[in-house]
Amino acid sequence: MAAALFVVFGAIAFAPTSTLAWFAFMSVSLLPGFSRVTLAMHSMMAGIGLPTTIAAATGHAVAVALWAVGFYWLGRWFASLVLQQRSRGRRVALVLRVFLSIAIPIGLYFGLALLMAAIFNYKPPPPDPAIARAQEAAEAAEYAQRVAEVKRLREIERQERARADEARRQLAETRAKQEEVGRFIAQKEKERADAAAAKTGASRPLADDERCVDGQRLRRVDNGWVQAGVCSNGSARK
């Protein structure tokens, strides 16, 4: 009767308690023999879901009544099963096996439930105000240090750019001075070369068609005379 009652409970409420029923089935199936024990324990563990569902919907009174009826018939059946054992040792062994078959799945199920509840409801303890203030002070000091480091690096970069600009300016001035000196030297060399050429031309002897008049070398052409350079008294034709 008890087995049939809990089979009905298990069939109705197997889905929401499948994990618990599986634990119970695996635990009880380890017992050698006792097929009726396996069936009853499996059905009872799965059937716990129905009173629980009814309790959530209608109140605890109906659930308590269902549990009382179910456990009453289960207790009578279990007592008769124990009394059928001839020796005391077998009776004790049967009691221990059934107790373990019930305790193991219940312990696993509710242990898992408590663990999940502890995980989902865990709230870290509030931080110590002194530790929080020390951490804020450390973060502020670190931030100030980083800001100072950034400012120092920017100042170094500005100084490097200023030195680079000054170096470029000095280089441009040096190149301008070098070009000016180069032009001056070229002008002087040109003047010197012109003077040397003029001196060389003035001392050159007069040709047959040239005359020297007031230091100017004149050359005869078809229409008269044209200037052909300078001359000196030493260049006069002898």
- Tokens for 69, please give them: 């009826």
Alpha-carbon dihedral sign for residues 213, 214, 218, 224: negative
- Tokens for 141, please give them: 């000091």
Q: What is the pLDDT of residues 107-148, one digit of tens each?
A: 777 777 788 878 888 787 787 888 888 888 999 999 999 999
Q: What is the pLDDT of residues 202-222, one digit of tens each?
A: 566 767 777 777 777 777 787
**Confidence band, pLDDT 50/70/90 cuts, at residue 238:** very low
20 vs 99: CA distance, rounded Å = 16
181 vs 186: CA distance, rounded Å = 8
